[in-house]
Structure 1
Amino acid sequence: MKLSKFLLGTTIGLAAGLAALYFKRDTRALAPAVKANTKLFDDFSAVDLGEFTDHLTVAAADPSALVLAQQQEDYVSEGTLTTPPFDLPLFKNLVASWNALTPAGTAVEVEARVGVDGYWSEWHSWGRWSTNAPSSSVVDDNDDPRASVDTDTLTVKAGSASQAQLRVHLYSNDSQQTPVLKLVAASVKPLQRDLMVDHHDVQVDRVIPAPAYSQEIRDPKLAPGICSPTTISMAVNRQNADILPEEAALRNLDVAYGGFGNWSFSTAMAGSLGYKAYTAYTDLDGLRKQIALGLPVGVSVQYSNHQDQADYPYVENATGDTAGHLLLVTGFTKLDGVDYVAVNDSYADSDEDAKRLYKLDQFSEAWHSRVAYMIGENYAGYERLMQPNRVNVKLIANEAHDAFQINLNEQVIAITPEMIVKKDSYDASTTTVAYTLDDGGQTETTAQQHFAYAKTDDEGRILLDVNALKQAHPEASTVTVYVIRLAAPTLVGTISLGTQNA
């Protein structure tokens, strides 16, 4: 392969680029740099298209991105990027990431294979993914003696791997639409480097003022399982987005997994909003570097606030017990000589209570996964994507002004009770109907407003008693309603608390 013609992107190691000195027979020499455990392919402008792609080309508006090739005026239905093989430190676990735009009718699929003892594994898929259709990780993985994928993580079955290769498929069933691939990445948990060790090579005393959201006060049918999309919401809203946790969740559902905690899907969702985002195994210095850049980091933790139990690491001041949870690290600081990690923990009972300080040593034990969501700034030129896809609708009241029909371009959209209630599993009909009032309170982001959740009737109308709301909120003049749907634009309408519907 003509490796020089493939722009390999960025390598990120725990000490990449730093050379250590060692002595042998009184001769000083430079030791090789520590091998990077995360590989990013994030600029495709120098790719040899004939060597590494099939039916793909660089995007005309962004030469660093890949899109489907065209025949005449139509996009082809499928194209593939295959990266060169790349070396990694010895590992047993690998997580893949991608950033892609997926208009309606399009999707992407990322695969990886790993080199184990001189032999390649089979290709293993992270499933077809799109923000405009229900997405699913793989249910029945390849029968492979060397490796397997469970939801978001590839595991080497026997021995260890030292190489990997990535492959990305772009799909479209609409000849006028194409996915746009901005990034594909792989990160591994190195076997010969203990990420739990805190070298403290990076010094930072900073807390980033990211908005804090409690998942516990969101839509009750979603609230127990949306720590990951809530964490993503806080991270991107810290910059310039304004997404609701429920909107993030219903862009992030893994149908096969039956929930919202797929690590790869979560950072892909952030990428779909125009942010450079990927999942990585890292250490405390890796977090400190991000905080120093002004970028909060999502991390996967387990903890308990009961010191006398042995199931999970004890964290003083934590909100309860959790076997698996995502929270947002917003900083590092020291109080009375004790090191603390500042977090926004969505497990709290309120937004105000979500900002917390956890002792560094206790946090480190709780974060034994060493999995982190690295969410960077907007890609240049992609700023328009930072807001969720929302469409304005009319809400037409009945005579009593307590039931409202949704009208989109003269078409009635019905939201039935079955679509908004909690079921055994989420599906394409899953919907949240949330509303908030303009009662004079000012918030930094929409998600920090007080939300309530409406019911619907058998005719698919939203049930809101305008007179009761006016009595309870005399300072308010308008209700804003958000109809949040799975893999579809959010419908937004307003209701006047006067006599006329706005």
Structure 2
Amino acid sequence: MDWICEKGALSENILHNLQINNDYVELKENHEEGYLETPIIETERFTEITPSWNSKTNIDSSVELLIRIRAENKWTPYISYGVWSTNGNNIGIKERESHDLMKVTSDRIFVKDEKFGDAVHIKVVFKGNNPKLTLIAFSTDGGEDEAVEGSYLRILENIPLISQLASGHKDARVICSPTSLTMALKFHGKNVDLDQVARGTLDSGNGAYGNWPQNVAMAGELGMRAYTKRCKSINPVKNFIAKGIPVVASVCVQDKEQLSGAISAFPHGHLMVVVGFEIKDGTEYIVVNDPAANSDAEVRKSYLLDEWVKVWRHYVYIVTPDVEK
């Protein structure tokens, strides 16, 4: 299930010391702090959830998204998904947290003990020199799957090939997420480089580059409409490809043999860009730009779809131009 609230619809929330200005929510004049609070959002039953936001900040301003869930008729406390400020000043969740009803990681909240969440409540705190908010969202593993629509057997063109390993970056082995995001941003015409995106996505709280909410927040800072989506199956990914939209996808490969052609195992997770699908000799393949390659020329790979789906975490980053609906 996806829930997205953006632009003018943000006025439907409680706004304290905030105002709507065109497509943004921003602080009222002469205020340096305010907050947005959603109504209680009833949902399909879920066991995991991930939040997203798009904002405009500077070195003197920040937004902080807090989220709580209801499970078994009890509410969890609010959990912060970090103080977000551009230029690498963002601070996410420093350590994993655990509560009676949930386990919290830098990317997701998991409902514990085979229980289910059924409602969500979000609060966004604004501080400093006029931060702006355009979108808040969350995605869960609840709800129904979607059918495949359109022709997805295609390979999208003009998506640059960028190898994280050949980038020369000091943290080349752990920048798969900003590398994948850079490829997606360049496809959409953003004049960015890998060093810039890596700086912007680095979580200064825990030193990680791969936090999902913070990567889509970085895309939002650059004027994109971006959010993290949990997919019930591969069908939504096929639908995005049919629409001409590449997606950044997260996999977790415990053993290299699980994904034929992979350069290595990725037991702690790995991000790559899905750019298409094809059938060869009656077998379906997923076509990706995999940044774990020794050169830019080796980034484009075709993986057996059946194998890839088994190591996929069912999460993707959706990054589109802001005019996309």
TM-score (norm 1): 0.60
Match of 1:216 among 144, 165, 170: 165
Q: Distance in 1 between matches of 2:62 and 2:193?
A: 23
Matched, 1:302 2:252: yes
Matched, 1:66 2:25: yes
Name the counterpart of 1:321: 265
Matched, 1:291 2:278: no
8 Å CA contact 1:305, 1:316 repeated in 2: no
Name the counterpart of 2:111: 156
8 Å CA contact 2:148, 2:236 repeated in 1: no
Matches within 5 A, 1:28-107: 37-45=1-9, 47-48=11-12, 52-59=14-21, 63-70=22-29, 74=30, 76-107=31-62
Three-state SS of the structure 2 residue aligned to 1:44 is helix
8 Å CA contact 2:96, 2:104 repeated in 1: yes
* Code of the aligned partner of 1:258: G
Matched, 1:330 2:275: yes
8 Å CA contact 1:279, 1:372 repeated in 2: yes
Name the counterpart of 1:268: 217
Match of 2:287 among 337, 342, 345: 342
- 4+ long deviations beyond 6 Å: 140-143
Q: Distance in 2 between matches of 1:322 and 1:139?
A: 22
Distance 1:133 1:247, change over 3 A: closer
Q: Which runs of 5+ in 2 are unaligned?
A: none
Percent identity over the alignment? 28
8 Å CA contact 1:304, 1:318 repeated in 2: no
Q: Distance in 2 between matches of 1:47 and 1:305?
A: 48
Name the counterpart of 1:188: 140
* Code of the aligned partner of 2:243: L
Match of 1:356 among 272, 277, 301: 301
8 Å CA contact 1:327, 1:344 repeated in 2: yes
Name the counterpart of 1:207: 155
Q: Distance in 2 between matches of 1:96 and 1:148?
A: 14
8 Å CA contact 2:34, 2:127 repeated in 1: yes
Residue by residue over 1:9-29, the C-alpha shift from the partner in whole angstroms, topping out at 9 and shown as x without a partner, is xxxxxxxxxxxxxxxxxxxxx
8 Å CA contact 1:151, 1:257 repeated in 2: no
Name the counterpart of 1:257: 206
Q: Distance in 1 between matches of 2:94 and 2:271?
A: 24
289-298 vs 146-155, which moves further: 146-155
Distance 1:200 1:294, change over 3 A: closer
Three-state SS of the structure 1 residue aligned to 2:201 is coil
Name the counterpart of 2:130: 178
Q: Distance in 2 between matches of 1:236 and 1:230?
A: 10
Three-state SS of the structure 1 residue aligned to 2:207 is coil
Name the counterpart of 2:84: 129
Q: Distance in 2 between matches of 1:143 and 1:215?
A: 33
Which of the pair has the greater relative contact order for Cα pairs under 8 Å at 6+ separation? 2
Q: Distance in 2 between matches of 1:302 and 1:119?
A: 32
Aligned length: 320
* Code of the aligned partner of 2:141: K
Q: Distance in 1 between matches of 2:303 and 2:254?
A: 12
Q: Distance in 1 between matches of 2:169 and 2:202?
A: 16
8 Å CA contact 2:88, 2:199 repeated in 1: no
Residue by residue over 1:103-134, the C-alpha shift from the partner in whole angstroms, topping out at 9 and shown as x without a partner, is 22001100111111122211111010111352
85-94 vs 371-380, which moves further: 371-380
Q: Which runs of 5+ in 1 are unaligned?
A: 1-36, 308-313, 381-502
TM-score (norm 2): 0.92
Residue by residue over 1:439-494, the C-alpha shift from the partner in whole angstroms, topping out at 9 and shown as x without a partner, is xxxxxxxxxxxxxxxxxxxxxxxxxxxxxxxxxxxxxxxxxxxxxxxxxxxxxxxx
Distance 1:230 1:133, change over 3 A: closer
Q: Distance in 2 between matches of 1:297 and 1:277?
A: 11
Three-state SS of the structure 1 residue aligned to 2:93 is coil
Q: Distance in 2 between matches of 1:352 and 1:107?
A: 39
Matched, 1:119 2:74: yes
CA displacement at 1:147 relative to structure 2: 2.6
Matches within 5 A, 1:8-23: none
Distance 1:228 1:178, change over 3 A: same
Distance 1:362 1:123, change over 3 A: same
Distance 1:291 1:344, change over 3 A: same
Residue by residue over 1:145-196, the C-alpha shift from the partner in whole angstroms, topping out at 9 and shown as x without a partner, is 2234221211223421111111111111xxxx31110100011123x86x7x
Considering only aligned residues, what root-mean-square deviation do their CA atoms show, in Å?
2.1
* Code of the aligned partner of 1:183: L
Q: Distance in 2 between matches of 1:171 and 1:302?
A: 36
Matches within 5 A, 1:430-441: none
CA displacement at 1:302 relative to structure 2: 2.2
CA displacement at 1:217 relative to structure 2: 1.0
